Amino acid sequence: MAASTDRRFAALRVWERVGDRLPWYLAVSKNERPAKHLIARRIGCSLPPDGAPEADLWDEHTRRTPEFLALWRDVRDGRARLSDVEPAAPSLVDLSAELAGRMLAHCTFCRWNCRVDRTAGARHGTCQLESASRVGSYFHHRGEELVFRGTQGSGTIFFTSCNMRCQFCQNGDISHDKDNGVPFSAVELAAAARQLRLEGCHNINFVGGEPTIHLHTILGAVRELAAGRRPPPEADRNAEQAKADRFRPYAERADHGSYAGELNAPLLWNSNFFMTDETTRLLRCLFDVWLPDFKFGPGRCAVELARTPWYFETVTRNLKAVYGWGEDMVIRHLVMPGHVECCTKPVLDWVAAEAPEALVNVMDQYHPDYACDPGSAAFNPRFAPLARRPTSQEVLDAYAHARRLGLRFEEVSLEKQTLGLLPGS
């Protein structure tokens, strides 16, 4: 076992405030514990993943998940060491990657349940994707929450396309354009993740667009990472076409991400959470920390602003599951102009009732973009009410409501004030 070389990350004052809500993620980031996928690699499967019927593979996944959870608890609590358990072949990681590949042939990654065969490419679902995944960029992201950006950045990988159509999307260039970016195989994705971690990033942050619709490629990459296979040089070269900070002098060091001699990296699922139960089940045994968006209230805002039915019921179901599992999580909510009463307050009310101890980032970063931006070619006058930033009063009302509900939001929403990072504070 190796401790993190970046002592400044472990010494950040934010951990005094939120360390109790993100203990697993922090321990993996510091290389004091192995990432979940390394543990899942120790859970053997009795079925050959590439030969059994899909229904049988799901039954096997259901049987093996409690075994994983038991070993994870023992590792987490110090009762077991990773080095005492031999890697299995095939493992729960192999099984999960195989199931994602099977799902691709009748795609049920997200709530749309399009069931199109993305391997054939004859028909397209909501995301308009076939089997190929594309990455818009990847880099050391220094704009995420302090717990994720730390001192060396969050190793963020931006996928193209999305299963929602938010008309205000601030990543509209990739979420609304499925052909943007560089094609990535699972091996190339693993190469990018490996680079980021060994360069000192505190986590590997899968985002978009939306990562859910790239589940098959992501879990294929996780299989590569878990196996510890060093990517071939051509995979590194191909991946670096999308590396936005490739000219920065980041040096790779093995001790940035190593546990018991294995590559160690906490995996972060940064998603709109509009996914199916099956997807959530696969992620549970592989991802160390969750960063869900919770955008809209239970009314028609999701349909009118994102062309997304079943939004509130789907996202709350997934949030309730992840919270109930006791996972490390930060919930994000973006305050939008004119939507405090219909979206912000119902969202925060739900969190207070169903996930009261979760960390919540009540975000004030909204600015008009894409179809809500009068300066954009995509502007639609229908969305003119959103062509402004939220007022100070709207943001303060959101904060006041979160405070009345007793939510844990200040540590991640107002980090500069609460951690004394502003002049004179």
pLDDT at 263 over 90: yes
For the four alpha carbons of 325, 326, 329 and 330, in that order, the dihedral sign comes to positive
| For residues 357-362, average pLDDT | 98
- Which pLDDT score is estimated for 23? 98
Half-sphere exposure of 40 (CA within 13 A, CB side): 26
pLDDT at 125 over 70: yes
pLDDT at 5 over 60: no
Q: What is the mean pLDDT of the chain?
A: 95
- Which pLDDT score is estimated for 425? 34
Q: Which residues contact 407 (CB under 8 A, 6 or more apart)?
A: 348, 351, 352, 356, 360
What's the predicted TM-score (pTM) here?
0.96
Q: What is the band of 424 on the pLDDT scale with cuts at 50, 70, 90?
A: very low
- Which pLDDT score is estimated for 421? 53
- Which pLDDT score is estimated for 98? 98
**Stated length of the chain:** 425
Q: What is the band of 51 on the pLDDT scale with cuts at 50, 70, 90?
A: confident
- Which pLDDT score is estimated for 420? 59
- Which pLDDT score is estimated for 57? 98
The CATH-assigned architecture of domain 7-418 is Alpha-Beta Barrel (3.20)
| For residues 347-360, average pLDDT | 98
Half-sphere exposure of 220 (CA within 13 A, CB side): 19
Domain boundaries, the chain: 7-418
Q: What is the band of 232 on the pLDDT scale with cuts at 50, 70, 90?
A: very high
pLDDT at 423 over 70: no
pLDDT above 70 coverage of the chain, percent: 97
The CA distance from 282 to 92, in Å, is 10
**Which range has the worst mean pLDDT, 3-12, 48-57, 186-195?**
3-12
Q: How confident is the model over 280-329, as pLDDT tens digits?
A: 999 999 999 999 999 999 999 999 999 999 999 999 999 999 999 999 99
- Which pLDDT score is estimated for 47? 92
- Which pLDDT score is estimated for 72? 98
Tell me, rounded to whole angstroms, the distance of Cα 331 from its chain centroid.
11
pLDDT at 246 over 90: no
